[in-house]
Amino acid sequence: MHYHEYHELIENNLLWAEEKQQQDPEYFVNLAKGQKPPYLFIGCSDSRMPLNSFTKTEPGELFIHRNVANQVSLTDMNLLAVLEYAVEGLQIKHIVVCGHYCCGGVEAAYKNSATGVVENWVNPIRELYLKNRAEIDALPTITERTNKLSELNVVEQVKNICKTSVMHRANKAGTAPAVHGWVLDISKGRIIDLPLPIHDWRALGIIP
């Protein structure tokens, strides 16, 4: 980023802060008192995924964790710490895993084109594709195939959330938040609330 572009970020922040102060003189005073967000969002790091913009939410309403292709790895201490704090500390009511169409990580997994650390990171998506290859490859275009893989990836990551010790403890205590899987259609700016196989997961003992 050129210095002028970088400097614009600071200037924009000052303008935004002044506007908020004019609208509500107590806005930042109240914001500094603490957070009690009802939602944990786990999303992709893609720069086109500003969740606050797409959901018209304000600071303090969303607790957010983002990584490449919105993965929920049961060995990712960063994510597990976020999840534990959100569920047990903030007592959030909803967990949303939000993926998107035209996802570079998903496309790399589908094409088997990732290298280095990213190759390792998206390998679970590659395995998900191979597991569902017949269904995905039956679709006529690469765009439709990768979009379908994005949807399957979201559902798989929601299932992984349900497998964590954090959620097991919350289920036993009767305080588990609801789980949701979303995919954002960037070309339309619309969020699709994906159906989840809750009955299948319950039959497998993944959720009570």
* Mean pLDDT across 130-159: 98
* Mean pLDDT across 91-106: 98
- Marked catalytic residue, from 48, 94, 190, 202: 48
Cα torsion 164, 167, 169, 174 to 10°: value is -160
Residue 111 has pLDDT above 60, yes or no: yes
Residue 46 annotated in active site = yes
Residue 19: which domain range? 1-34
Whether residue 13 is found in the same domain as residue 94: no
For helices 77-84 and 165-173, the axis angle rounded to 10 degrees is 20
Whether residue 18 is found in the same domain as residue 117: no
Which string of DSSP letters, residue by residue, matches 56-121? T--TTSEEEEEETT----TT-HHHHHHHHIIIIIS--SEEEEEEESS-HHHHHHHHT---HHHHHH
Name the β-bridge partners of 190: 185
C-beta atoms surrounding 205 within 10 Å: 7
Residue 76, pLDDT score: 97
CA end-to-end span of the chain:
49
Task: Say if 167 falls within a structural domain.
Answer: yes
Report how far residue 75's alpha carbon sits from residue 158's, in angstroms, rounded to the nearest whole number: 15
Residue 24 annotated in active site = no
Residue 37 has pLDDT above 60, yes or no: yes
Whether residue 84 is found in the same domain as residue 186: yes
- Marked catalytic residue, from 65, 76, 98, 103: 103
Task: Say if 208 falls within a structural domain.
Answer: no
How does pLDDT run across 151-207, given as a tens digit for each residue? 999 999 999 999 999 999 999 999 999 999 999 999 999 999 999 999 999 999 999
Residue 137 annotated in active site = no
- Cα–Cα distances (Å) from 66 to 23, 70, 148, 201, in that order, read 30, 6, 21, 25
Rounded percentage of the chain residues whose pLDDT exceeds 90: 93
Work out the pLDDT band at 50, boundaries 50, 70, 90: confident
Residue 30 has pLDDT above 70, yes or no: yes
**Single-letter amino acid code for the residue at 12:** N
- Marked catalytic residue, from 44, 98, 126, 145: 44
Work out the pLDDT band at 28, boundaries 50, 70, 90: very high
Work out the pLDDT band at 19, boundaries 50, 70, 90: very high
Residue 44 annotated in active site = yes
Closest CA to 177 of 99, 109, 83, 113: 83
Residue 6, pLDDT score: 87
Task: Say if 23 falls within a structural domain.
Answer: yes
Residue 168 annotated in active site = no
* Mean pLDDT across 127-150: 98
Task: Say if 10 falls within a structural domain.
Answer: yes
| CATH assignment of the domain containing 54 | 3.40.1050.10
Whether residue 13 is found in the same domain as residue 24: yes
Residue 3, pLDDT score: 64
Residue 2 has pLDDT above 70, yes or no: no
Domains contained in the chain, number: 2
Residue 1 has pLDDT above 70, yes or no: no
Work out the pLDDT band at 141, boundaries 50, 70, 90: very high
- Marked catalytic residue, from 65, 98, 100, 162: 100
Whether residue 72 is found in the same domain as residue 116: yes
Average pLDDT, the chain: 95
Whether residue 77 is found in the same domain as residue 112: yes
